[in-house]
Amino acid sequence: MSDVVSKIAEHMEVVGDDGEHVGTVDKVEGNRIKLTKKDDPTGSGEHHYLPLGAVAAVQDGKVQLMMPASAARGDSNARDPGA
C-alpha cells in the first residue's frame, strides 16, 4: 500500500475503472485520497475523499480506481468527515 501512496501526487487525475474522470488529487490524508473542492460531486464545494483501498493502479500520471466513476462520486461515505 505504501508503494501506491508514494506514487500519488498532487494534481493527478483520478479515474474510475471505466476511464471516466472522478476528480483531482489535493493530497493523501491518512488512508484516504482527498480530492480538490472543484471536483465535489454534490456541487457544495466540499472536499470528497476516496479510500486508498479503492486504488487499482497509479500509472500514466493518473490514479485508477477499482470501481466506476459513478460509484466513486456517489459514495456517501466519501464526504468530508469534518463537515
- Domain total for the chain? 1
Non-local (6+) Cβ contacts of 5 within 8 A are 28, 52
Q: Residue 48: which CATH number?
A: 2.30.30.240
Q: How far apart are CA 7 and CA 22, in angstroms?
A: 18
Would 79 be classed as within a structural domain? no
> Whole-prediction pTM value?
0.82
- Which domain range does residue 31 map to? 2-72
Give mean pLDDT, residues 28-34: 94
Per-residue pLDDT tens over the stretch 51-75: 999 999 999 999 999 999 999 988 5
Would 83 be classed as within a structural domain? no
What count of other Cβ atoms lies within 10 Å of the Cβ of residue 4? 15
